[in-house]
Amino acid sequence: MTPRLKKLVGLLIWLPYVFIYLFAAAAIGDHVPPHWALKLLYFALAGVIWVFPLKYLMNWMNAAPKVQTKSKASETGS
């Protein structure tokens, strides 16, 4: 897969994930007790945690393409 295509596929996975996470975090945030410190702690954590699952997607998107080598059979002509 070409790097350009990998980035397109990654974007098509990333965007829905972020929107779903955003709305889920906001909906869960409505149920956090109304104390300011608890709200601050929840939204600080929710604002950082979304990155960790995407680490693998970003690594895959930015990985160098694998180079295919010729097999020994094609080199010897058999």
* pLDDT tens by residue, 27-49: 999 999 999 999 999 999 999 99
CA distances from 69 to 72, 74, 77, 78 (A): 9, 10, 15, 16
pLDDT of residue 39: 95
pLDDT at residue 78 greater than cutoff 60 = no
**What whole-number distance in Å separates Cα of residue 6 and Cα of residue 12?**
10
pLDDT confidence tier of residue 76, bands split at 50, 70 and 90: low
Cα–Cα distance measured from residue 77 to residue 52, given in angstroms and rounded to the nearest whole number: 48
All residues at 6 or more sequence positions from 60 whose CB lies less than 8 Å from its CB, including other chains: 6, 10
Query: pLDDT band for position 73 (50/70/90)?
Result: low
